[in-house]
Amino acid sequence: MKITLNENADVVATVKAGLEKTGGYCPCRVEKTEDTKCMCKEFRDQIKDPDYEGYCHCMLYFKSLQD
């Protein structure tokens, strides 16, 4: 398993700019809680899920099942 940044640099730049504006909270969510702080709970749970492969909600990160 490995986590990488989206290969699309424009997406990475956009999401990172959003994270800077929110002070590190998920730019695609309204609530600011521990669960929405990047890496958010949703993605942490997806990392733990042995069957999940794909992007986090904002598409900043990609979880690959291969090393």
CB of 65 to ligand SF4, least distance (A): 17
Minimum CB separation of residue 31 from ligand SF4 in Å reads 11
Helix ranges (DSSP H) in the chain = 9-22, 41-48
Query: What minimum distance in Å lies between the beta carbon of 50 and ligand SF4?
Result: 18
Half-sphere exposure of 28 (CA within 13 A, CB side): 14
Residue with tokens 């730019």: 27
Site residues (vs ligand SF4, CB under 6 A): 15, 26, 28, 38-40, 43, 56-58, 60-61
